[in-house]
């Protein structure tokens, strides 16, 4: 069965409540333009409920079909973790997804593969679909270490997961040098790493399971470069930062994946 394409917007620490409502309404009203592509909005944690309300989410389902996700979470269910958000809290507000191991979390907040692994297991246990991010820095790419770095990240982040759990996740390949820089990986560069990730998943689970896992590309995706990425065989969607803050751009990217 063909993998359903998935385009997720990582709003990061942007917008205010009114703008979050406005953007959600604009995307939800035009979701038909991206028919067949799954859309996910990942607002700042504090605005998840605002976006859920704007999507008229009930029981995790939105009439518009747009899904909701968090940008990060703690791996513990509850307790003395000041400032953190528990997996079940996202579920409570109607989230189906959570982004984990984004390069900003890895570089700015010291998240290791072991931390990403614990969060991935906690997300799955709570019923969330983790979007697990991996990707090399410019220095690592220029040093010819892309495959080794991505292999370590995939194996470390997914260590101990059953094949059934691997089947449920989404992986995002996001070369760090392409995030927010306007430098997009060429479709071939991206495809090579996506194929590597799929072969790693085949080793961790099975070729059948690997064939079902959706692998998104992320890093300066825009409506005008999305089509070339979308036609690569192992690119199943996009994780979009900057361009997800404008409904036109976000939907333009989603359309490229139809």
Binding site for ligand PEP (CB under 6 A): 10, 174, 179-180, 218-221, 239-243
Could you give the CA distance from residue 189 to residue 178 in angstroms, rounded to a whole number?
12
Least distance in angstroms from the C-beta of 80 to ligand PEP? 30
Q: Is 167 a catalytic residue?
A: no
By beta-carbon proximity to ligand PEP, the closer residue of 51 and 179 is 179
- Secondary structure tally for the chain: helices H, strands E: 12, 8
Selection from 254, 223, 220 nearest residue 237 by Cα = 254
| CB 182 to ligand PEP: min, Å | 8
H-only helix segments in 66-186:
87-92, 103-108, 113-126, 138-142, 146-157, 163-168
Which of 38, 104, 140, 174 is an active site residue?
A: 174
Q: How far apart are CA 99 and CA 188, in angstroms?
A: 25
* Catalytic annotation present for 102: yes
Tokens of 212: 């079902």
Indicate the residue among 43 and 219 with the shorter CB distance to ligand PEP: 219
What's the min distance (Å) between Cβ of 169 and ligand PEP? 16
Q: Which of 74, 102, 111, 136 is catalytic?
A: 102
Residue nearest to ligand PEP (CB): 241
Angle between the 247-256 and 223-230 helix axes, to the nearest 10 degrees? Answer: 20
Minimum CB distance to ligand PEP, residue 157 (Å): 16
Nearer to ligand PEP, 1 or 13 (CB): 13
Minimum distance from CB of 56 to ligand PEP (Å)? Answer: 27
Tokens matching residue 106: 């890895």
**Residue among 132 and 221 whose Cβ is closer to ligand PEP:** 221
Looking at beta carbons only, is 209 or 253 nearer to ligand PEP?
Answer: 253
250, 208 Cβ separation under 8 angstroms:
no
Q: Please tell me the distance from the alpha carbon of residue 36 to that of residue 31, in angstroms, as a whole number.
A: 10
Catalogue the active-site residues.
102, 174
């Amino acid at each position: 069965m063909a993998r359903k394409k998935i385009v997720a917007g990582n709003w990061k620490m942007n917008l205010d409540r009114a703008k979050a409502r406005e953007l959600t309404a604009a995307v939800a009203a035009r979701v038909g333009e991206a028919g067949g592509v799954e859309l996910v909005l990942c607002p700042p944690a504090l605005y998840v409920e605002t976006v859920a309300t704007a999507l008229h989410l009930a029981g995790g389902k939105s009439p518009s079909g747009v899904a909701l996700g968090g940008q990060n979470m703690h791996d513990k269910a509850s307790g003395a973790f000041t400032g953190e958000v528990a997996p079940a809290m996202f579920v409570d507000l109607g989230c189906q997804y959570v982004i984990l191991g984004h390069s900003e979390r890895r570089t700015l907040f010291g998240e290791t593969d072991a931390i990403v692994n614990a969060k991935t297991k906690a997300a799955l246990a709570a019923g969330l679909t983790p979007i697990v991010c991996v990707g090399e820095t410019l220095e690592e790419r220029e040093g010819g270490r892309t495959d080794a770095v991505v292999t370590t990240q995939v194996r470390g982040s997914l260590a101990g997961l059953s094949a059934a759990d691997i089947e449920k996740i989404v992986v995002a390949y996001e070369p760090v040098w392409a995030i927010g820089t306007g430098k997009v990986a060429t479709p071939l560069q991206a495809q090579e790493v996506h194929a590597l990730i799929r072969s790693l998943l085949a080793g961790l689970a099975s070729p059948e399971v690997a064939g079902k896992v959706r692998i998104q590309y992320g890093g300066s995706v825009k409506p005008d470069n999305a089509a070339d990425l979308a036609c690569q065989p192992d690119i199943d969607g996009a994780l979009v930062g900057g361009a997800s803050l404008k409904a036109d751009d976000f939907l333009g990217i989603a359309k490229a994946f139809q």
